[in-house]
Amino acid sequence: MKSFLNIINEPQKIAVYFLKNFSFILFIYNIFYKFKNKKIYYQEIEKRKNLSIFNYKQLSLPIPYYPIESIKDSNFYGINHSIKKYTGIKKIKQSFEHGLYFGNYIPFATFLKTTKSIITFSDNRKKYLILAGIKKPIYVIGPYIHYADISLTEKEFRNIKQSLGKTFLFFFSHSIKDFNVEIDVLKLIKKINKIASNYDSVIVCLYYKDILNNIYPKYFEDAGFKIVTAGNLYDINFLSRLKLIIQLADFTASTSIGTHTGYCVYLNKPHFLIKQKIKISKDDKTSKIEFRDGNQINLMEKEINEIIKEFSKYSIHITESQKQIVNKYWGTSFIKNKDELKSLLV
C-alpha cells in the first residue's frame, strides 16, 4: 500500500486517506451529510420509487449524498439496500466491491482502516485481494443482482413485457466519474438495427451521467429506440431497476465487457459483444484514473480478452463456455440463500 507520503501530491487520495483511515473523521463527515441532506434525499427516493424505467430524464437527475451506510462506496447502486431486503438485516458492516474488477488491481480505499471486511463476486477476485496483502475477511456471494427484488407484481411485469414484445436490450458503454465516452453513435445504431431487425422493440440502457450529458439520447430516440435507465448511483432502487430492465429482454448486447455482461447471462439472457471503437475523454485537465502499473494493465487486458472471446460470436443461446466464464468472474456458483447470506453478514 502507498504510504501517506506517497500520496501527498494527490489531493483526492489525501481526502480518502483521512476519511477511510480515521473512524472519528468519517463519523463527523457522515453526521454532517446526514444532517444536511436527510430530508431531501428521502424525498427524492420516494418520488422516484414508482417511476417507470422509461422515465429516464427524471431518474437520472442528481440525488444529494446521504450516508445510509458509513462507508461511502456502500451507498452506491442500491446493493446494500437489496441485500438488506433479501436478508432482513438492518445494518451491513462489510464493504461491497460495487462492480467487476479485472486482474490484481485493488482500489486504494480497500487497504484503509475503516474498510473492515469485503464482499465480492468470486473466488477469482478473492484470490487477487489476498495476493495484494488484504488480511481482512473477504466474503464471496456471487452476482449481486440475484438478491435484488424488481418490486413489481407478476401482472405489472407481464403488462410491460406484452407492450414491448420481443425485446433487444443494448447496454451503452457508459461514462465514469471525470471521464466521458465518445463513440460514433450513428455507426453503432446501424449495427444495432442490423442485429435487431427481427425484434419488436429495441431498448437502450443508459447510465445517468450520459443522460445528464445529453449527447446520445436524441440519436437513439430518433432511431426509434426506447431509452431506459436504472437511475442515479445514490438511488437505493438502482439494482432493482437494473434487474427489471434485464428481465424484460429476450436478447442483450453491448460494446464493452462490464458488470452487466455477467448479470445478463446469470438472468438467462444471451449476450453479444458488438465491435465498436470507443474513446474516453477527460471532463477537464485535472481528471485522473487511479494508476495501474504495467503488470496490472497486462493482467486486466488478459482477463477482459478472455471474456471478449466468449461473447464475440452472435448466438441466441447461452453456451456452456459462457456460463463457465461468468462463473469464474461473477461467481454464480457462490450464490447464497437467505440464511447462508445472513450468517455471513451478522
Q: Which domains does the chain have, with CATH numbers?
A: 4-147+335-345 (no CATH), 154-330 (3.40.50)
- Residue 318 and residue 311: Cα distance in Å, rounded? 9
Q: Do the beta carbons of residue 149 and residue 85 sit within 8 Å?
A: yes
Q: Do the beta carbons of residue 155 and residue 258 sit within 8 Å?
A: no
- Residue 253 and residue 189: Cα distance in Å, rounded? 12
Specify the pLDDT at position 63.
Answer: 97
214 CB-side CA count, 13 A: 4
Specify the pLDDT at position 294.
Answer: 77
Helix (H) or strand (E) holding 16: helix 11-21
Task: Give φ, ψ of 195 to 5 degrees.
Answer: -75, -35
Specify the pLDDT at position 4.
Answer: 44
Q: Do the beta carbons of residue 131 and residue 104 sit within 8 Å?
A: yes
Q: Do the beta carbons of residue 234 and residue 38 sit within 8 Å?
A: no
Specify the pLDDT at position 147.
Answer: 98
One-letter amino acid of 152 = L
Specify the pLDDT at position 36.
Answer: 96
Specify the pLDDT at position 144.
Answer: 97
Specify the pLDDT at position 109.
Answer: 81
Closest CA to 195 of 259, 274, 295: 274
How open is the CA angle 13-15-18, to the nearest 5 degrees? 105
Specify the pLDDT at position 265.
Answer: 98
The three cell numbers locating residue 239:
439494482
Specify the pLDDT at position 232.
Answer: 96
Specify the pLDDT at position 2.
Answer: 46
Count CB atoms within 10 A of the CB of residue 306. 14
Q: Is 328 helix (H, G, I), strand (E, B) or coil?
A: helix
Specify the pLDDT at position 11.
Answer: 63
Q: Which residues of the chain have pLDDT under 70?
A: 1-13, 174-178, 281-292
List, as one string, the DSSP characters of 282-307: ESSTT--PPP--HHHHHHHHHHHHHH
Which ranges of 167-293 does DSSP label H, i.e. alpha helix? 185-195, 208-213, 217-222, 238-247, 259-266
Specify the pLDDT at position 5.
Answer: 46
Give 255's DSSP letter: S
Specify the pLDDT at position 251.
Answer: 98
